[in-house]
Amino acid sequence: MGAELVQAGRGTDSRIGGSGVKTGRGRLIVVANRLPVHRVKRKGRSVWETSPGGVVSALRPLVTEAGGAWVGWSGTTGRAPAAFEFDTIQIRPVSVTAEQVEKYYGGFSNATLWPLYHDCVRTPQFHRRWWWPYVDVNRQFAEATAQEARPGDTVWVHDYQLQLVPGMLRELMPEVRIGFFMHIPFPPLELFAQLPWRREILSGMMGSDLVGFQTPQGAKNFAAACRRYGGARGSDRELEFRGRKVRVGPFSISIDIEHTESTAMSAPVQERAEELRRGVSPNLNGRRKILLGVDRLDYTKGIEIRLRAFEELLRRGVHTVDSCVMVQIAVPSRETVGEYAELRAYVEQLTGRINGEYGEAGKAAVHYLRRNLDFEELVAYYRAADVMLVTPLRDGMNLVAKEYVIAKTDDVGTLVLSEFAGAAQELGAGSLLVNPHDIDGLAATMEVALSMEPTEARRRMGLLQRAVRKNDVYGWADSFLGALTS
């Protein structure tokens, strides 16, 4: 999944059974790299627990309602546990060996497809020894799904790790309806063309009845690739492949707005936000403004360029360590992949360099927190932040931008947003759009954001609020399944 599907957003299960969407005839089977549950130790016993994530809480009620199942990997290697029921849904774990995890997940998914699909911001590695495990694991997922599905069911496959599943499943079970949603970008033709297995990937995805993307551009890129390399004909919205119709379209993902808003309004979160504000402004008359970054520690997120832009801002001297502070929260991610370890070392070196140059005792220029936070704590940081820096080099959507906007419901804050995040499509009016590669431009935009008049910041936040409120994660799931089953 775009990163890890279970990490995408947070939520509770408050909407279980409440979505109101019917999936048409048949049950709904969700197929995703990870299951919606994970193993935890409780009182010395190992038990299953729901994984956090807006996508999980949006899809689970739909699966419950439709009496369906969830097929995925449990996160541990070796023989998977037998299928079991959890909270009225059928869970079917897929076995994946340690070698497969290394080659299918760490290799082909995260060192070939991930950089290729994110504009080649790192060089994708093409290895035949990774391709075959990718095929094998996709087949294991397709077979597990076929065991679970019955004719007339609806199957919804998620993300770049499982692009071959729709085609394989179509061969095993022609009588099911299949949808596929890509959480990350789909690259332009010139980049996708590099992939030695481009034809196989396209025909795998075209096993679906409907293929969804975060943005219209992703959908367009895919349709163009199918016509050029996949042997398909047709328009950007409907392709013809092997005598079948494959519909293609954008379905932009969102967050659990209600949950984010109620968390932001809760007294403990508001108090914590105040505490965070006070914490960075010790013994100062004026308050230091907080610039915040929140990302998985991933090279697509533009963290290092953002830090260098903050360094440039301080070098210019209009804003100093007395008037502002940067907080960078980074969730550890894919640490066994070499590029990620290098990124971590570089970010840590930069943070040290900036603090060494511009910080003072008791007054750091950058606070770097490398950890996973509770949703309440994360929202408190959003509320405390005067300027949110969302500057990925390329991103399917970016839910952090939407979470920030909703967390700031009754407060003033400015969103600095990369042109290359899917979210820029909806949040262009209201945010300060930036080219995330441009250090000087980014530093200048930080200056503008820090000096923005409250009336202007409020006007912009109003625009952002309206844009985000048009659609939540439940609306996203409803519209995809509505289109799939219509």
- Catalytic residue numbers, as ranges: 183, 395
Closest CB to ligand ADQ among residues 3, 89: 3
Closest CB to ligand ADQ among residues 71, 329: 329
Q: Does 430 bind ligand ADQ (CB under 6 A)?
A: no
How far is 252 from 426, CA to CA, in rounded Å? 9
Closest CB to ligand ADQ among residues 186, 241: 186
Q: Does 397 bind ligand ADQ (CB under 6 A)?
A: yes
Closest CB to ligand ADQ among residues 148, 295: 295
Q: Determine contact, residues 61/18, Cβ cutoff 8 Å.
A: yes
Helices (H) and strands (E) in the chain, counts: 18, 18
| C-alpha torsion sign, points 266, 272, 274, 276 | negative
Taking alpha carbons only, the member of 159, 155, 196 closest to residue 177 is: 155
Q: Write the interaction track for ligand ADQ spanning residues 2-21; mark x where CB under 6 A is met and - where it is not.
A: xx---xxxx-----------
Reported in sequence order, the residue ranges of 10-124 that DSSP labels E, i.e. its strands, are: 28-34, 37-42, 45-50, 69-73, 84-86, 89-94
Closest CB to ligand ADQ among residues 61, 392: 392
How far is 32 from 40, CA to CA, in rounded Å? 20
Closest CB to ligand ADQ among residues 21, 399: 399
Exposure class string for 365-404: b at 16+ Cβ within 10 A, else e:
bbbbeeeeeebeebbbbbbbbbbbbbbbbbbbbbbbbbbb
> Interface residues for ligand ADQ in 233-262 (CB under 6 A)?
253
* Nearest approach, Cβ of residue 460 and ligand ADQ (Å): 21
| Among the listed residues 209, 256, 311, 395, the single contact to ligand ADQ using CB under 6 A | 395
- Angle at which helices 216-229 and 198-205 cross, to 10°: 120
Q: Does 183 bind ligand ADQ (CB under 6 A)?
A: yes
Q: Does 266 bind ligand ADQ (CB under 6 A)?
A: no
Q: Does 184 bind ligand ADQ (CB under 6 A)?
A: yes
Taking alpha carbons only, the member of 387, 406, 380, 379 closest to residue 275 is: 380
| Among the listed residues 89, 211, 378, 439, the single contact to ligand ADQ using CB under 6 A | 378
How far is 486 from 338, CA to CA, in rounded Å? 44
Q: Does 297 bind ligand ADQ (CB under 6 A)?
A: no
| Among the listed residues 16, 120, 373, 444, the single contact to ligand ADQ using CB under 6 A | 373
What DSSP character marks residue 297? S
What DSSP character marks residue 410? T
Q: Which helix (H) or strand (E) holds 10?
A: none
Q: Does 225 bind ligand ADQ (CB under 6 A)?
A: no
> Interface residues for ligand ADQ in 155-174 (CB under 6 A)?
none
* Exposed/middle/buried for residue 445 (C-beta within 10 Å: 0-12, 13-18, 19+): buried
Q: Does 475 bind ligand ADQ (CB under 6 A)?
A: no
Q: Give the CB-nearest residue to ligand ADQ.
A: 2
Closest CB to ligand ADQ among residues 169, 400: 400
Q: Does 142 bind ligand ADQ (CB under 6 A)?
A: no
Q: Does 379 bind ligand ADQ (CB under 6 A)?
A: no
* Stretch binding ligand ADQ (CB under 6 A), from 20-28, 389-397, 406-414, 454-462: 389-397
- Residue 169's Cβ-side half-sphere holds a number of Cα atoms within 13 Å equal to 38
Contact positions vs ligand ADQ (CB under 6 A): 2-3, 7-10, 183-184, 253, 294, 296, 329, 331, 372-373, 378, 395-400, 403
